[in-house]
Amino acid sequence: MTIQEASDRYQIPVNILKKYESWGLCGAVKKVMGTWQYDDEDLERLSLMMTLHDIGFTTEEVETYMRLTLEQSDSERERLRMLSRKRDAALDELHFREHRLQRLDYLRYEIQKAQERKE
């Protein structure tokens, strides 16, 4: 499948596919008549890349993670460390947002209470 077909079929932006190609991590991707052709294994890797982007990895972090996955067979510990850091950051953000929501609810409560006293 060509880059455009992969982009259309799996809703992966062409710029992400080109980035993937530029990293040189697409060993199974073959050029046929000057056009990259993606196989199922490449699409699985691209799916992982999209997941990493979706969970907040930067492009550089995605590249590092993918290089660890594809080039180092004993990289589980490092990849787990990367995922744990992202999880910790997501929990920090969640707690911050919960605190913000509690403050918003308190202010709404105070206004509602004041309105009830006027009635």
Tell whether pTM > 0.75: no
Q: pLDDT by residue for the chain (119 residues), tens digit each? A: 777 888 888 787 888 788 777 777 665 555 555 666 777 787 788 889 889 989 999 989 998 999 898 888 899 999 999 999 999 999 999 999 999 999 999 999 999 999 999 88
Q: In whole angstroms, what is the distance from residue 1 CA to residue 37 CA?
A: 5
User: Two tokens at 61?
Assistant: 């972090």
Predicted local distance difference test score (pLDDT) of residue 103: 98
Predicted local distance difference test score (pLDDT) of residue 84: 98
Three-state SS for 54-66 is HCCCCHHHHHHHH
Residue ranges per structural domain of the chain: 1-71, 76-119
Q: What is 1-71's CATH number, 1.10.3720.10, 3.20.20.450, 1.10.1660.10, 2.60.120.260?
A: 1.10.1660.10
Q: In whole angstroms, what is the distance from residue 20 CA to residue 26 CA?
A: 7
Distance of CA 88 to the CA centre of its chain: 15
Q: In whole angstroms, what is the distance from residue 116 CA to residue 119 CA?
A: 5
Predicted local distance difference test score (pLDDT) of residue 36: 66
Predicted local distance difference test score (pLDDT) of residue 38: 76
